[in-house]
Amino acid sequence: MSSPISSFAKSMLSASTRFLDHSESSLVAAASGHTVVLVDQTEDILAKSKKSVEENLRKMSKKKFAENPKAGDEFVEKTLSSISTCTDAASVVHSTDLVVEAIVENLKVKNELFQRLDKFAAEHTIFASNTSSLQITSIANATTRQDRFAGLHFFNPVPLMKLVEVIKTPMTSQKTFESLVDFSKALGKHPVSCKDTPGFIVNRLLVPYLIEAIRMHERGDASKEDIDTAMKLGAGYPMGPFELLDYVGLDTTKFILDGWHEMDAKNPLFQPSTSLNKLVAEKKLGKKTGEGYYKYK
């Protein structure tokens, strides 16, 4: 077998879909010539994921092959043929070059998964977590391959968002890091690197910004509508902070903030928000539930 990721990850295992619609990263990998095994807990979930992949592929092919529909159909069929599904990651991990995990943001659950996969994966196989809030080092320590473990953080929607954060722990080898950078480029993405710091680059800057917008509103400094308008017209942002909070999901933002607060309770940037906690407790999580900071029909 060739060295890991020389062409990169001829075979990629994408583990579960709990926190991210990881069928999207599987789609991008398959569309760029990689063989992908999409893993989740039930055949039902996998069937929905595969259907989502096909729908997104057809949309993609209509734009990419507008002048040649036949070539578009061939592209869809070829890409779909590169994606298989499975409910038992351990049974297929032995033949993969890369494992990308995107399960629930729970350290214990992630550690249990990687401990199990570590026993069956080939020596050269690289493990990567798509976590947006947990420390990569804490996940890597559950395995015997800390040098072949890193963070690979995609952004939704994966087919459209160009950015990938590649997270290098103190134990991640340079070879592993360079392999993941090459893989990201092979997917047509723009990789950036970051140390294993809470939130990496984007969330470390974005979440405190969102929480400060909430605090401004809680203090009565400005209305949420005016804060959103100000950031769109004054800073050129496509969405205001409250629009973005509702889009991302208030539970997701709270989960990240709570995790950071637990790690560093004295950091003023990581202090809990009263209104955010109240809305989450009331199950008003944003667009996905029809109400968050704004109401949606």
Residue 165 catalytic?
yes
3-state secondary structure of 30: helix
Burial (CB count <10 Å: 0-12, 13-18, 19+), residue 34: buried
CB 148 within 8 A of CB 14: no
Q: Where are the beta strands (DSSP E) in the chain?
A: 11-15, 35-39, 83-86, 98-101, 126-129, 149-154, 163-168, 190-195
Residue that has been written with the tokens 């690197």 in this structure: 193
Which is the catalytic residue, given 203, 217, 243, 273? Answer: 203
Residue 132 catalytic?
yes
Which is the catalytic residue, given 16, 26, 132, 184? Answer: 132
How open is the CA angle 136-140-142, to the nearest 5 degrees?
A: 130
Alpha-carbon distance values, 62 to 72, 81, 83 (Å): 7, 19, 20
Which is the catalytic residue, given 24, 26, 129, 153? Answer: 153
Residue 112 catalytic?
no
Residue 212 catalytic?
no
How open is the CA angle 180-205-107, to the nearest 5 degrees?
A: 60
In the chain, the amino acid numbered 5 is: I
**How far is 202 from 12, CA to CA, in rounded Å?**
25
How open is the CA angle 161-10-176, to the nearest 5 degrees?
A: 75
DSSP code string of 47-107? HHHHHHHHHHHHHHHHHHTTT-HHHHHHHHHHHHHTEEEES-GGGTGGG-SEEEE---S-H
**How far is 184 from 176, CA to CA, in rounded Å?**
12
Catalytic residues: 132, 153, 165, 203
